């Protein structure tokens, strides 16, 4: 689904998704965004792609449109200058953007394992011990101090803030979306 990133690119950029399909004739690609990354595609002037063979491409973005309201898929129109042959090679490529300064860099929730979790009032809920990929979105498993587990989807109403420096995830309105289990799955 995504290529291994060269060290220099991984340091300068962050992955926001992967190319799900291509339309070389129209110079368009359909990007499946990683959880929590969809909004980062809006208004980016450039995207950077790591192809399956490890080669890198930098492409100017002409327009970005959301495919469906309930989806994290985006159609990205590439500016003139990107050849149709190059567009046809982009399927399954990792989509990267320049990193922005500040603590909230990474949006891939798999990197959150071990992060502390608190609610919006600052009350500790536990620690993230696992992440599950589903068709719609990712789900994080939070091990509570009493041996129970909380499963919460990685969607905008639930994830209020992620601080990668402090290794902290703040949950917003998680009640209607989460499931509490009697035992953690570990």
What SS3 state is found at 100?
Answer: coil
Sole residue written with tokens 């209607």: 176
Q: Which domains does the chain have, with CATH numbers?
A: 7-98 (2.40.30.60), 109-181 (2.30.30.240)
DSSP 88: H
Full pLDDT tens readout for the chain, 186 residues: 334 444 444 456 778 888 999 999 999 999 988 766 777 788 889 999 988 888 899 999 999 988 776 677 889 999 988 999 999 999 999 888 887 644 344 455 567 888 999 999 999 999 998 877 665 677 888 999 888 999 998 887 888 888 877 889 999 988 888 888 766 555
Alpha-carbon distances of 138 from 7, 8, 38, 84, 172, rounded to whole Å: 26, 28, 13, 33, 16
């Amino acid at each position: 689904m995504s290529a291994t990133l060269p060290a220099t690119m991984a340091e300068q950029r962050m992955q926001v998704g992967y190319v799900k399909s291509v339309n070389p004739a129209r110079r368009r690609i359909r990007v499946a965004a990683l959880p929590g990354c969809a909004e980062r595609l809006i208004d980016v002037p450039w995207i950077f792609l790591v192809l399956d063979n490890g080669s890198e491409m930098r492409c100017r973005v002409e327009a970005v449109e959301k495919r469906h309201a309930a989806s994290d898929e985006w159609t990205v129109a590439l500016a003139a200058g990107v050849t149709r042959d190059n567009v046809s090679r982009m399927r399954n490529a990792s989509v990267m953007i320049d990193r922005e300064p500040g603590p909230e860099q990474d949006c891939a929730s798999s990197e959150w394992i071990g992060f502390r979790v608190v609610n919006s009032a600052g009350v500790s809920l536990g620690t993230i011990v696992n992440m599950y990929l589903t068709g719609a979105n990712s789900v994080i498993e939070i091990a509570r101090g009493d041996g129970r587990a909380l499963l919460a989807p990685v969607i905008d109403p639930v994830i209020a803030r992620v601080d990668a420096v402090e290794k902290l995830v703040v949950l917003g309105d998680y009640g209607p979306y989460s499931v509490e289990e009697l035992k953690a799955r570990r």
